[in-house]
């Protein structure tokens, strides 16, 4: 099983030497997504909830580019700079997923790129043969 880079025209520009997503067999592995507006490359305004909503929209767009959707997500990791924002992040995250509930970890970190308060990475199981 090789690793293939996923062409992601819908994703915001990356901030370093990496790609937004790769496919490894039946798995699509996404790099952490910030609340960056893909049109401007800027962090959305409105705090943790708005950043979470945008990060989840970016995840959905990357997955769509790979032929998958948020209902294929098996695991996410959320990084926040302020754990007191956990309720707002939870609400926005849950709204983006509807009734789908992947396993998840949430970790408070000292800082994130671009001054973000939230970053979300995801693993999706999406067989190419479906």
Contacts of 36 (CB under 8 A, 6+ apart): 12, 42, 43, 44, 54, 58, 114, 116
pTM as predicted: 0.95
SS3 state of residue 114? helix
Question: In this predicted model, what pLDDT tens digit does every residue of 44-53 receive, in sequence order?
Answer: 999 999 999 9
DSSP state of 66: T
Determine the length of the chain: 130
Residue 37: partners with Cβ closer than 8 Å, 6 or more residues away = 12, 43, 44, 54
Judge whether residue 1 has pLDDT over 70. no
3-125 is classed in which CATH architecture? 2-Layer Sandwich (3.30)
Give 18-42 pLDDT, tens digit per residue: 999 999 999 999 999 999 999 999 9
State phi, psi for 98 to the nearest 5 degrees.
Answer: 60, -130
C-alpha torsion 76→83→42→44, nearest 10: 100
pLDDT in tens, 72-114: 999 999 999 999 999 999 999 999 999 999 999 999 999 999 9
Sheet of 118-125: strand order equals 3-5, 21-24, 27-34, 118-125, 73-80, 103-108
């Amino acid at each position: 099983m090789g690793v293939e880079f996923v062409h992601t025209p819908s994703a915001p520009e990356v901030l370093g030497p990496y790609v937004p997503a790769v496919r490894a067999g039946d798995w699509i592995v996404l790099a952490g997504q910030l609340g960056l507006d893909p049109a401007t490359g800027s962090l959305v305004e409105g705090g943790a909830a708005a950043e979470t909503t945008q990060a989840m929209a970016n995840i959905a767009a990357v997955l769509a580019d790979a032929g998958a959707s948020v209902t294929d997500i098996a695991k996410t990791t959320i990084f926040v700079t302020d754990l007191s924002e956990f309720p707002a992040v939870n609400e926005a995250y849950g709204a983006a997923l509807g009734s789908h509930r992947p396993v998840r970890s949430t970790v408070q970190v000292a800082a994130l790129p671009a001054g973000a308060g939230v970053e979300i990475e995801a693993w999706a199981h999406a067989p190419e043969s479906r």
